[in-house]
Amino acid sequence: MNRARTPANGKIGRASAPYLLILPSILFAFWIIGYPIYDMANMSVHAVNRFGKTAAFNDFANYQRLFSHQLFIGCLIRTLVWTVFVVGGTVLLSVPIALILNEKFFGRTLARIIIMLPWAVSLTMTGIVWRWSLNGQFGMVNATLREFGLQDTPIEWLATSTTAFPILIAIGILVSIPFTVTVILGGLSSLQADVFEAARIDGATAWQRFRYLTLPLIRPFLNIVLVLNFIYVFNSFPLIWVMTQGDPANSTDILVTWLYKLAFRYGELGIASALSIVMFVILLALTITYAALAMRNERSTA
Kindly state whether residue 151 participates in binding other proteins, applying the rule CB under 8 A.
Answer: no
CB of 247 to other proteins, least distance (A): 5
Select the span of 13-21, 28-36, 149-157, 222-230 touching other proteins (CB under 8 A): 149-157
Kindly state whether residue 51 participates in binding other proteins, applying the rule CB under 8 A.
Answer: yes
Residue closer to other proteins (CB basis): 53 or 108: 53
CB-CB contact of 250 with 75 (8 Å):
yes
Identify the H or E element spanning 44.
Answer: helix 2-44
Kindly state whether residue 53 participates in binding other proteins, applying the rule CB under 8 A.
Answer: yes
Helix residue spans in 45-122 (DSSP H) = 61-67, 72-102, 108-116
Kindly state whether residue 56 participates in binding other proteins, applying the rule CB under 8 A.
Answer: no
Interactions with other proteins, residue window 267-296 (CB under 8 A): 267-268
163 vs 98: CA distance, rounded Å: 29
Number of H helices, E strands in the chain: 14, 2
Interactions with other proteins, residue window 170-209 (CB under 8 A): none
240 vs 246: CA distance, rounded Å: 7
What are the DSSP calls for 210-252, one per residue? IIIIIHHHTHHHHHHHHHHHHHHHHT--HHHHHHTTT-STTTT
CB of 33 to other proteins, least distance (A): 20
Residues that bind other proteins (rule: CB under 8 A) add up to a total of 29
CB of 138 to other proteins, least distance (A): 7
Task: Phi first, then psi: give them for residue 218, nearest 5 degrees.
Answer: -95, 10
Kindly state whether residue 160 participates in binding other proteins, applying the rule CB under 8 A.
Answer: yes
Site string (3-42) toward other proteins, x via CB under 8 A: ----------------------------------------
Give me the residues paired with residue 46 across strands.
57
**CA–CA distance from 109 to each of 66, 142, 182, 296 (Å)?**
50, 33, 13, 37
Interactions with other proteins, residue window 253-272 (CB under 8 A): 261, 264-268
User: Which positions touch other proteins (CB under 8 A)?
Assistant: 49-53, 70, 135-138, 153-160, 245, 247-250, 261, 264-268
